[in-house]
Amino acid sequence: MKRFLLSLLVVFSCLSPLMAESGDQHITVNAGIAAPYTLNATVGYEYELKNGHAVEIYGEAGNHWHTPVCHAFWDGYYWDGGGTYKYRIAKFKNGNFKLRGGVQFGSFVREFFVGAEIGFEYNYVFKNNWEFVAIQRNNFNFVHGDTFRNGIMIGVKIPL
């Protein structure tokens, strides 16, 4: 029992400096367009780390539209979830520029896929701590035909 309590004390003493300098928490809401012919929306939870870096867990839904749009709009839907690590490259007076990369998994028209994401993110912070965000994303998906998507998303980060 003494060893167990001593090990817990050591673990908490090592973790407390990490938690003391951690940053804000946000709910993220984004929408955008990607090639080829894709509309998508993302909702996530972001946690800031030291030095402005961050991690995000998100869920996403999207749809490929076809030409003509008439009856085939929902034929190319997908959903996915994943996590990204955001490395801050530059800090500005009211914002920052981050490199983002991560993994995702989901389904594209009933076919399971695993993928990777890399891109850039620019955040602008308002006085009330809400943030405007512009994201450039590149998704590489494996195991099905929807292999590559790249595009731009805009949205907000709402502080918790």
The domain spans of the chain are 22-159
Half-sphere exposure of 140 (CA within 13 A, CB side): 6
Residue 140's nearest CA partner among 132, 131, 149 is: 149
Q: Judge whether residue 58 has pLDDT over 70.
A: yes
- Listed range (49-58, 66-75, 90-99, 113-122) with the worst mean pLDDT: 66-75
CATH class, 22-159 region:
mainly beta
**Given this model, what pLDDT does residue 101 score?**
97
- Listed range (72-76, 97-101, 146-150) with the worst mean pLDDT: 72-76
Residue 122's nearest CA partner among 140, 134, 112, 110 is: 134
Q: Judge whether residue 15 has pLDDT over 70.
A: no
Whether 55 contacts 86, CB under 8 Å: yes
Q: Judge whether residue 2 has pLDDT over 60.
A: no
Q: How does residue 145 score in pLDDT terms, banded at 50, 70 and 90?
A: low
pTM over 0.85: no
Could you check whether the bond before residue 68 is cis, i.e. omega within 30 degrees of 0? yes
pLDDT in tens, 85-113: 999 999 999 999 999 999 999 888 778 88
Hey, is 75 helix, strand or coil? Answer: helix
Whether 50 contacts 86, CB under 8 Å: no
Average pLDDT, the chain: 83
What distance in Å separates the CA atoms of residue 107 and residue 101, rounded to the nearest whole number?
20
Residue 55's nearest CA partner among 64, 65, 45 is: 45
**Given this model, what pLDDT does residue 70 score?**
61
**Given this model, what pLDDT does residue 75 score?**
66
**Given this model, what pLDDT does residue 69 score?**
58
Q: Judge whether residue 144 has pLDDT over 50.
A: yes
Helix (H) or strand (E) holding 96: strand 95-108
Residues 22-28: what's their mean pLDDT?
Answer: 85
**Given this model, what pLDDT does residue 13 score?**
46
